[in-house]
Amino acid sequence: MKKFNSYFFLYSGLLFFGLYGLIIAVDPYDKLGINVFGLKTKAVASSRENKFYLLESSKDAYEAFILGSSTAHKYHTEDLEALTGLKTFNYAVQHTTPEDYVAIINHIRSMFKPKLIVLQVAFVDLDKNYETDKILYSSPLKDFLGQESKNTYIKEDIFSNNYMTLDALRDTFRVILINIAGEIRHQYLAHGNYIPQKDGTGPVQVVQFSHQNWILDLNRVEMLKKIQKECKDAGINLVVISAPVSIDHLEKIQADPHMNNALKIYKNVLAETFENVHDFTTEKVREFNTTEFFGNSTHPTRKFSKYMLDEIWRKK
């Protein structure tokens, strides 16, 4: 009669500590800097680490840089080089906010004397409810954080409840499987370019639609102003692009009064902060409404990214 209770507590203890221990050992979100099994890739793309070390180990003297979130992944350095003649590195990383841009520019300037920075700022980047990715604070970029960020990040420890979740459990097993038998995602090639993708012809899926509670983050606006000032003082040509979204995505935003107003605020902030801004969050995207130009509603393909660069440099 007593078997069930004893076994239940025993098995529960073993299972729980076993699974939690596995999650910590795998560290699927790279929050703890642990990699017991020497895994090549983690659940969340380590784009900050990848690009950081790619740049550090490169022998090229880069003069132009492309910054942004994953929405800027598909800018190809060859396309910008063809327009400017400047050796280019694509430093777009996942899930960025202006804190990342400050750190990345600090890193770039610690190694190079850039002449051109193309910075793509997305609508979500200025949303207070869109949290800065905590991976920034455990990545090598943490040593290049702006002064305003140095005191704000919270040190993750192994009892952080980010890892006491089903998602973390799932991603732990996914990371293990991918490392054993799967395809490693988000690989970067020379100069930070993204691995080539096959463009489709189908409809564009609306994704990452999380703007319903958009509130302007004034601290991030200050960071953008700082970026503009530092670039101007250092003689760096800073070209800013508002990250494009597909027409369906844009219309969804415009259909909601709050989001539509937020979009206007975002555009005004960019226009007032930067001297050289190019707005692609417009109706112009209507004629580009297939997966040939947008992999999904927030991620333009190389073709559309090239189109944007061509448009900007044609105007020049």
Partner 1 sequence: MLFNSYIFIFLFLPLSLLTYFLLLKWEKVSAAKYSLFFSSLFFYAYGNVKYSILIMTSILVNYYISEFLMKIKLPSKRKALFYFALLFNIGLLCFFKYMDFFIENVNWLFGSEIGLLKIVLPLGISFFTLQQLAFVIDVYTGQAKENKFIDYGLFVTFFPQLVAGPIVHYKDIIPQFQSKDNKSFKAESLSLGIFIFTIGLFKKVIIADTFAPFASEGFKHVGDLHFFYAWGTSLAYAFQIYFDFSGYSDMAIGLGAMFNIKIPANFKSPYKSTNIVDFWSRWHITLTNFITAYIFTPIVRSMPKMTFPYMMLSMFLAMTIAGLWHGAAWTFVVFGVLHGAAIVIHHNWKKYKIKLPVYVSWPVTFIFVSMCFTMFRAKTVEQAWRIYKGMFGFSGFQLPKGILSTELMNSWGIKYGPHMVNDENIHLALIIICFFIVRKMKNSVEHAQEFKRTHKEALVTAMMFVLCLFGLNRLTEFIYFNF
List residues bridging with 299 in a β-sheet.
Answer: 296
* Distance in Å, CB of 206 to partner 1, minimum: 6
* Distance in Å, CB of 3 to partner 1, minimum: 5
Q: How many beta carbons lie within 10 A of that of residue 285, not counting itself?
A: 22
* Distance in Å, CB of 205 to partner 1, minimum: 5
Residues 6+ apart with CB under 8 A from 207: 296, 297, 298
Q: Are 69 and 120 in contact (CB under 8 A)?
A: yes
Q: Which is nearer to partner 1, 2 or 315 (CB)?
A: 2
Q: Which is nearer to partner 1, 115 or 252 (CB)?
A: 252
In one-letter notation, the amino acid at residue 227 is I
Q: Which is nearer to partner 1, 12 or 35 (CB)?
A: 12
Q: Which is nearer to partner 1, 75 or 163 (CB)?
A: 163
Give a three-class secondary structure readout of 225-283.
HHHHHHHHHCCCEEEEEECCCCHHHHHHHHHCHHHHHHHHHHHHHHHHHCCCEEECCCH
Q: Which is nearer to partner 1, 18 or 196 (CB)?
A: 18
| Residues within the interface to partner 1 (CB under 8 A) | 1-8, 10-12, 15-16, 19, 161, 164-166, 168-169, 201-203, 205-207, 248
Q: Which is nearer to partner 1, 162 or 179 (CB)?
A: 162
Helix (H) or strand (E) holding 9: helix 3-26
Task: Give dist(CA 270, CA 285) in Å, integer.
Answer: 19
* Distance in Å, CB of 215 to partner 1, minimum: 20
* Distance in Å, CB of 253 to partner 1, minimum: 14
* Distance in Å, CB of 306 to partner 1, minimum: 25
Q: Which is nearer to partner 1, 97 or 298 (CB)?
A: 298
* Distance in Å, CB of 252 to partner 1, minimum: 9
Give the rounded distance of the alpha carbon of 165 from its chain centre: 23
Beta strand 237-242 with 277-279: parallel, antiparallel or unpaired? parallel
Q: Within 13 Å, how many C-alpha atoms sit on residue 167's CB side?
A: 6
Q: Which is nearer to partner 1, 49 or 248 (CB)?
A: 248
List residues bridging with 89 in a β-sheet.
Answer: 65
Residue corresponding to tokens 């098995």? 11
List the alpha helices (DSSP H) in 140-245: 147-150, 166-181, 218-233
Task: Give dist(CA 281, CA 264) in Å, integer.
Answer: 10
* Distance in Å, CB of 58 to partner 1, minimum: 35
